Structure formats: structure tokens, C-alpha cells
Amino acid sequence: MSNKTNSVNSLAIYVHWPFCRSKCPYCDFNSHVRVSIDEDAWLEGLCRELDHYAALSGPRTIGSVFFGGGTPSLMSARTVAGLLDRIGRNWSLPDSAEITLEANPTSVEAEKFRDFAAAGINRVSLGIQSLREDDLKALGREHSVKEAKDAIALAQKYFRRNSFDLIYARMGQICADWEKELREALDLAADHLSLYQLTMEQGTAFYNEYRRGKLILPAEEVSADMYDMTQDICTAAGLPAYETSNHAARGEESRHNMTYWTYGDYVGVGPGAHGRLTVEGQLHATSQRRKPESWLKNVLESGHATEHDQRLDRQTMAEEMIMMGLRLTRGIALSEFQARIGDPLAGYLDQNRLEVLLDQGYLHMDQAHLRVTGKGAPLLNYLLGELLA
């Protein structure tokens, strides 16, 4: 994996398209269902916010662009092309940049994928979530298994780089069921898979059902066994984990997500989007207004809808870089930490607790990296609490 994501000049762009056909019961993302959408107005608004951040960032080279949501594949290819054109006008957008679009099988057809490729998309991430009909229904998904498989085939036809998501540790799922489904997924996959355990996020329909005892998840030890099995099977198939929930063949890691995990700079535009942008040597944490209508009104009136813009101190930057970096299988590169923060990593960790966790085999440290071991990976949140206390 290249360290170029953390180059001072490299910048990632995240574009949030907040609209979906329906709201999934497990989803806590900033997504909304609307009867109609004025795409011309949204293109204008997103372009204005890109202009605003380009003025702040100054000349930079774009390493990646990610269209997330929501369901960005509901956008027209014309809107995607317009946004990429504006990004190319505001910054340097080389042919080598990774440009990803998230898509749902229900909004995919051959013609649309062909048009997205012509607009400049070169990587697609599909929200499949399950290869079982009953579980798709239980998860509130609107597509069938056949539609999912057709979408995967189309993605592989039109884009050399592609990925899809699955959710496991679902209601009623046992290890044998997940093993069979995972092996099916690996037969379908190209070079990247995102595999997430189902979690109950506050504010979702699933969370409310879970609190009322109407939704039962696998026992903690069963979920842990599923996680371990996932690592073993994916590694044997040539798609080892490079991050807690992401698996890829060597060189096929998501460059955009690597920017987050290596604490590089990125601009976030669109409702609820977050960013980390260095302006005149100072890192700023930004976030945009969440409600689509409020966001659009603010942008068309003021050129942006930034709700929060906080200059981060060195302590906060260090803590964020530790929290993100320990999600990576390779861990935190000590030299990258020193270059980004200006101080050695050791100064931001509780040394006594670090020694205990190293001795217990939850962490490993050498001259180049601090990383979480396979034994420690399921306990990442606990380990972070110990290290940063």
C-alpha cells in the first residue's frame, strides 16, 4: 500500500448524495426519501460548495473522488460528469485518480453503468448486503439475489475495479450459514469485499426493535467466531483484511478510504458531509448541514453550507490519527505519524497500559508500526479506550 495518500499535496473529495428510494431499517447514514429531486439545482449547489473549498485549499492534486450516500447511482450520469468537470477545474484531477460511485442493485442497469463509465467513474461499490432472499427482505432491501448477482456482473463488465458489501452476524444467522454465503461471495467477487457485522445504531428502526426485544442477534461469542472465520477464509482466498471490515487483493485497496485511515486531507461536500482540510498549515474539521433542503438553501444563498469548522489542536489530531490508523491491518506507520503530528507517537499513549497490552498479545509494535493483532482486533474499541485514557 502506497503512502502517497498522506502526501501534503494529495487531496480526496467526498460528494454526498443524500437520497434513497427507501430507508433501510439498519441505516444511520444521512439518507432521505423524496418524491422528486431537482438535479439541476443539486448539481449547482454541489459545484458551489466545491468552489468554496477549492478557494480554501489552494492548488492540490486529487488522489480520489468518492460519490457516497444515500444512493448516488440514482444520480444521472450527466450530474456525475458535471461534478467531475468542476473538480477538474478547481484542482488537478489526473487520469490516475480513483473515482468511486456507490450503487444499489435496484438502481443499476447496463446503460446507466456504461454512461457512468463514460462520465469518468472507474470504480463501483455495490450495496448487496446479503445473498439470501429472506435476509434481504429482513434487512429492508428492495432487490433480489438475482438482481444482486446481475449487478455484480455488470459492475465487472464496465469497471476494472469494483467491490460489494455484505452484512453478517444477522438475525438468526449461524456460522455454517455465513461460511457458505461468504464462499459464494468470494466466487462472485473481483478484488475487493467489504464485510460488516450488523450493529444496532441509535435512531434506526432496528435499534428500536432490538431495545424492545423483538430483534435477536447472534450471541457475542458466535459473532466473534464469524469474524475469525471471515478473516481466515478471505485470507486463504487472496483477499486478506487491510482494515477492520475491508478485504482486498494486494494493490486493490480503496485509495479513498485509505486517505481516511492514514489521516490524509479530504473535502466533504453535500448534506452532512465531513472533511479534514489543511488551510494555511492548520488542520480544520468541517461538517455540512444535514437536512437536504436546508443545505441546498444555504449553498445557493452563501456558496456553502458549512455548519461546523473547527481548527484541531495537536492532541485532537493525534487521537484521531490513532483511532483511524489502528483500524488498518498494517497499523500506524510511526514515520507518518511523526510527519503529520510533529511529535512521536509514544508521547500520546499511556506507556504503562501499552506495555500491558503488548505483553498480553493484543498489540504488536516494531520500529516501523504499531498495530492491533488478530487477537486484539475484535477488541479495538476497548484497546483505544485503554491507550487514550
Summarised one tens digit per residue, pLDDT across range 90-106 is 999 999 999 999 998 98
139 and 253 belong to one structural domain: yes
Partners of 278 in the beta sheet? 283
Tell me, yes or no, whether 187 lies in a domain: yes
Domain of residue 16: give its range. 4-261
Q: How far apart are CA 242 and CA 238, in angstroms?
A: 12
Task: Specify the CATH number for the domain of residue 60.
Answer: 3.20.20.70
Model confidence band, residue 6 (pLDDT cutoffs 50, 70, 90):
very low
254 and 172 belong to one structural domain: yes
51 and 162 belong to one structural domain: yes
Q: Which of 213, 243, 261 is the last residue of a domain?
A: 261
226 and 362 belong to one structural domain: no
Residue entry with cell 492514514: 262
Under the phi-then-psi rule, with left for phi > 0, alpha for psi from -120 to 50, and beta for the rest, what region is 342? left
Tell me, yes or no, whether 119 lies in a domain: yes
Tell me, yes or no, whether 31 lies in a domain: yes
Tell me, yes or no, whether 56 lies in a domain: yes
Q: Which of 242, 261, 280 is the last residue of a domain?
A: 261
Q: Is pLDDT of 270 > 90?
A: yes
pLDDT of 3 reads 36
149 and 25 belong to one structural domain: yes
3-state secondary structure (DSSP) of residue 20: coil
Q: What is the pLDDT of residues 12-71, one digit of tens each?
A: 999 999 987 665 665 656 666 766 789 999 999 999 999 999 999 999 999 999 999 888
Q: Which of 214, 236, 261 is the last residue of a domain?
A: 261
How much is the pTM? 0.92
Q: What is the CA radius of gyration of the chain?
A: 21
Tell me, yes or no, whether 156 lies in a domain: yes
pLDDT of 109 reads 74
**Grid coordinates belonging to 357:** 497490552
Overall number of domains in the chain: 2
Q: What is the pLDDT of residues 277-308, one digit of tens each?
A: 999 999 999 999 999 999 999 999 999 999 99
Q: How far apart are CA 58 and CA 265, in angstroms?
A: 13
234 and 376 belong to one structural domain: no
Closest CA to 195 of 245, 237, 263: 245
Please say whether the dihedral angle defined by the alpha carbons of residues 112, 113, 119 and 124, taken in this order, is positive or negative.
Answer: positive
